[in-house]
Amino acid sequence: MTVKVERLTKRFGTSGEVVGVENVSFTAPAQRITSLLGPSGSGKSTLLRIIAGLEFADDGRVLINGEDITPVPVQKRQIGFVFQNYALFGHMTVFDNIAFGLSTRGKAKSTITDRVCQLLELIQLGSYAKRLPDQLSGGQRQRVALARALATGPKVLLLDEPFGALDTRVRVELREWLHRLHEETHVTTLLVTHDQEEALELSEHVVLLRDGEVVQAGCPQELYRNPANGFVASFLGGAKVFRGSVQQGRAEFAQNSLSAPVKEQDGSIVEAFVRPHDVGLEKVTAESSETATAVIARLVPVGGTVKVILKLPDGDSLTVQLLYHEAQSKGFAAGDRVTLDLRDAIVSPPLDYVI
Amino acid sequence: MSGSVSFRLGGSGKHRGPALSDGRVARCILIGIAVSFLVFFVGAPLIVVFVSAISRGMPAYFDALRDPMTLSAIRLTLFTAGVAVPLNLVFGLAAAWSISKYDFWGKGILTTLIDLPFSVSPVVSGLVYVLLFGRTGWFGPALERMGVKIIYAVPGIVLATIFVTFPIIVREVLAVMQAQGSDEEHAALTLGASGWQIFRRITLPKIKWGVMYGVILCNARAMGEFGAVSVVSGHIRGETNTLPLHIEILHGEYNTQAAFAVASLLALLALVTLGLKHWVEWSAQRQSAPRIEPMVDERRAPPTVQGAS
């Protein structure tokens, strides 16, 4: 069931001065997980709610499997929706929560019981059927919410920041679990998230949004390797953006010389996106002939990696991520003078963006 | 619970309630003021009502209650509340639902207008009805031609009572609805539920204690209303006298014992109302609290802090 969104526009406020989404078009491939990724206020949740039918667009249309469902009310859209705060029915047991969608459709009691038991098995909460939602942990509640959304066999599953309210550990586990679940069900899924890691890990298609507009869409690796602009590069992988100029066919950044895009003239301004783990560091000793380009301001060990915070000659700072072993074998310490190797930086002409 | 940590603030255990325990003197003075105020203004009058009611013995007490005029007043009061409360319940649910779920033009004005009966003197409310439906009022002549009598008749009393009491249920239900938001209703929508199914299976169970609370308070006010009803009633004995009006008349005739005997009925109603209100609050609280100990994430039980003892 391919989900296609065409020129969706939604404004809020009495005179429509607040843009929710602006002229958004994209396609979510069938049987895949598509992430709607973006910072808060980028319109990703609004978009999901419009697809669900909980919100109405001012303009544009939504197609599921080629069929225009824009005028179809939410009850008839055959979608499953999972809310960030679970929105479980507090006065109903886990069983009744999952059964709700089936019972509103007037299914026979035995059918409902079979289906709910099957889903309870799937979410590994078989023994919790008689619990009330507030007797469950956050992770368990979210699994119940997923089962409830899946119970009616929806054409499309819409997840609105489903793991947003959970702590990191549970979030990572649930992510893994959701991946396995999707392998089994293959329901076309749209996942709203502001967590780039979640998007990169779970989805086969990413739509990156900013200020209600699509910035770039494609497979995660493509967005990661070929960011359309600095915003994409900095949002996915936390790239730092350097501005430099082209000198004799080479782009100069922070005393590094990189090969510039061929078509750029000498003297034109270019940008380099540098990701924290794509930088090589070498210590400058008294004997070495190289001149230092930065000073280590601070070392922050974070588990298996070390964050090296560098001070650049122009006063700017740059964070580099090294493996713990590498940092240790090279014997880095605060105050060391180092050279930078921006070997994997992505160089491109400057694009309009604001972070 | 395993892994729990309990600690004590202050260490010595001398202060039972930590932070906010002022000196003993201040505490005694404050409690003293509150208690004596209550005894003087609430407790004493309540006792006086019952004592005066039986001042001439139980037979006289029951005679006062058995008086045909009293019985008629009781019937009218019950009838008025019986009409006003259900109507206000329907209105209250509709208004609370539309204010909390929909955005529409004039919502702010509606919300403000709902409070009008609370902010205006009941006498004024009664006068408004006289001006509207009285003999010389806007609709009076037309109604008279049709043979419909509203002012100085039962319909006027019911109308005035509805007007004075309608904010009560809306206020209670609206507060509960707004506090709970619409997330569960939205979830039900995505699961294919119709509007009626959502109301019956999701919203109503969530708000039922708020509704009960509103109905109890509304009923108490409907039975006890004096000002507005007094203006539109005309005080026709045995016909348009409600309990409060009847008490007023008995009192005016220096029949103090009978007045207090009837008043004791209203006082009893007040006590029953308080009891019910308490019961509703208690039930609502008990239901919102989990019945079994809440499950912490099964793999990891964080250390819990048991409040300072």
* Distance between CA atoms of residues B191 and A79, nearest Å: 8
Strand order through the sheet with A250-253: A256-259, A250-253, A240-247, A269-274, A346-348
Q: Which helix (H) or strand (E) holds B13?
A: none
Provide the angle, in degrees to the nearest 10, between the axes of the packed helices B44-53 and B256-288: 130
* Strand ranges inside chain A, DSSP E: 3-12, 18-28, 33-37, 59-64, 67-68, 79-82, 156-160, 188-193, 205-210, 213-218, 240-247, 250-253, 256-259, 269-274, 280-283, 294-302, 305-311, 317-323, 337-341, 346-348
Residues of A in contact with B183 (CB under 8 A): 83, 85, 87
Does residue A148 contact residue B189 with C-beta atoms inside 8 Å? no
A257: left (phi over 0), alpha (psi -120 to 50) or beta: beta
* Distance between CA atoms of residues B195 and B94, nearest Å: 13
B187–A83 CB contact, under 8 Å: yes
Which residues are CB-contacts of A150 (< 8 A; sequence separation ≥ 6)? A80, A119, A122, A157, A185, A187
Average pLDDT, chain B: 83
The residue in chain B having the minimum alpha-carbon distance to the alpha carbon of residue A145 is: B187
Half-sphere exposure of B140 (CA within 13 A, CB side): 14
Q: Residue A275 has what pLDDT? A: 85
A75–B298 CB contact, under 8 Å: no
Q: Which residue has the higher pLDDT, A106 or B14?
A: A106
Q: Which residue has the higher pLDDT, B236 or A203?
A: A203
The residue in chain A having the minimum alpha-carbon distance to the alpha carbon of residue B200 is: A104
A100–B191 CB contact, under 8 Å: yes
Residue B65 near chain A (CB below 8 Å): no
Residue B2 pLDDT exceeds 60? no
Residue B308 pLDDT exceeds 60? no
Instruction: Transcribe A222-289 into DSSP letters.
Output: HHHHS-SSHHHHHHTT-PEEEEEEEETTEEEETTEEEEPPTTPPTT-EEEEEE-TTS-EEEE--SS--
pTM of this structure: 0.75
Residues of B in contact with A76 (CB under 8 A): 192
Q: Residue A118 has what pLDDT? A: 92
* Distance between CA atoms of residues A45 and A211, nearest Å: 12
Q: Residue A146 has what pLDDT? A: 93
Residues of A in contact with B291 (CB under 8 A): 132, 135
User: Helices H, strands E: what count in chain B?
Assistant: 15, 2
* Distance between CA atoms of residues A244 and A236, nearest Å: 22
ipTM of the complex: 0.80
Residue A164 near chain B (CB below 8 Å): no
Residue A163 near chain B (CB below 8 Å): no
A192 pairs with which residues across the strands?
A: A36, A160
Q: What percent of chain B has pLDDT over 90?
A: 35
DSSP state for residue A75 in the 8-state scheme: G
Interface A–B counts its CB contacts (< 8 A) at 84
Which residues are CB-contacts of A316 (< 8 A; sequence separation ≥ 6)? none
Residue of A54, A80, A134 lying closest to B290 (CB–CB): A134
How far does the CA of residue B126 sit from the closest CA of chain A (Å)?
39
B190–A80 CB contact, under 8 Å: yes
Q: Which helix (H) or strand (E) holds B5?
A: strand B5-6
CATH of domain B57-288: 1.10.3720.10
The CA distances from residue A66 to A30, A31, A34, A61, in Å, are 11, 15, 17, 11
For chain B, the C-alpha Rg in angstroms (whole number) is 26
Does residue A133 contact residue A140 with C-beta atoms inside 8 Å? no
Q: pLDDT category, B3, cuts 50, 70, 90? A: very low
Does residue A312 contact residue A244 with C-beta atoms inside 8 Å? no
- As a whole number, mean pLDDT of residues B193-215 equals 90
B192–A90 CB contact, under 8 Å: no
Residue of B101, B185, B191, B199 to mutate, testing the A interface (most A Cβ within 10 Å of its Cβ): B191
Residue B268 near chain A (CB below 8 Å): no
Residue B207 near chain A (CB below 8 Å): no
**Token duo for residue A38:** 């973006």
Does residue B168 contact residue B218 with C-beta atoms inside 8 Å? yes
Does residue A216 contact residue A223 with C-beta atoms inside 8 Å? yes
Residue B297 near chain A (CB below 8 Å): yes
A82 pairs with which residues across the strands?
A: A159
Three-state SS at A28: strand
B295–A152 CB contact, under 8 Å: no
Residue B101 near chain A (CB below 8 Å): no
Q: Residue A283 has what pLDDT? A: 83
Q: Strands A188-193 and A67-68, how do they pair?
A: unpaired
The CA distances from residue B51 to A127, B35, B272, B274, in Å, are 61, 22, 19, 21
Q: Which helix (H) or strand (E) holds B137?
A: none
The residue in chain A having the minimum alpha-carbon distance to the alpha carbon of residue B298 is: A137
Q: Of chain A residues 5-34, which have a CB less than 8 A from chain B? A: none
Residue B303 near chain A (CB below 8 Å): no
Residues of B in contact with A112 (CB under 8 A): none
Residue A107 near chain B (CB below 8 Å): no
Q: pLDDT category, B306, cuts 50, 70, 90? A: very low
How far does the CA of residue B174 sit from the closest CA of chain A (Å)?
19
Residue B298 near chain A (CB below 8 Å): yes
Q: Residue B7 has what pLDDT? A: 41
Residues of A in contact with B202 (CB under 8 A): 89
Three-state SS at A81: strand
Q: pLDDT category, B12, cuts 50, 70, 90? A: very low
Q: Residue B29 has what pLDDT? A: 93
Does residue A253 contact residue A272 with C-beta atoms inside 8 Å? yes
Say how many C-beta atoms besides its own lie within 10 A of residue A33's C-beta.
24
* pLDDT tens digits along B19-31: 666 688 889 999 9
Does residue B194 contact residue B202 with C-beta atoms inside 8 Å? no
Residue B295 near chain A (CB below 8 Å): yes
* Distance between CA atoms of residues A215 and A233, nearest Å: 11
How far does the CA of residue A102 sit from the closest CA of chain B (Å)?
8
Q: Which residue has the higher pLDDT, B4 or A305?
A: A305
Q: Residue B38 has what pLDDT? A: 93
The residue in chain A having the minimum alpha-carbon distance to the alpha carbon of residue B289 is: A134
Residues of A in contact with B300 (CB under 8 A): 169
Say how many C-beta atoms besides its own lie within 10 A of residue A48's C-beta.
21
B186–A54 CB contact, under 8 Å: yes
Chunk chain A into consecutive blocks of 10 residues (it has 355) and report each block's average pLDDT, rounded to whole numbers: 92 82 93 93 92 92 93 92 92 94 91 93 90 92 94 93 87 90 92 91 93 92 85 84 78 66 70 83 74 84 89 83 87 85 77 52
Instruction: Transcribe B246-297 into DSSP letters.
Output: HHHHHHHTT-HHHHHHHHHHHHHHHHHHHHHHHHHHHHHHHHHS-SSPPPPP
Q: Strands A33-37 and A59-64, how do they pair?
A: unpaired
Residue B304 pLDDT exceeds 70? no
- With CA atoms as reference, report the closest residue to B220 among B42, B128, B112, B84: B84
Residue of A74, A85, A148 lying closest to B189 (CB–CB): A74
Task: Measure the CA dihedral B154/B158/B159/B163, to 10°.
Answer: 150
Strand order through the sheet with A79-82: A79-82, A156-160, A188-193, A33-37, A205-210, A213-218
Q: Where in chain B is the domain with CATH 1.10.3720.10?
A: 57-288
A89–B187 CB contact, under 8 Å: yes
B187–A54 CB contact, under 8 Å: no
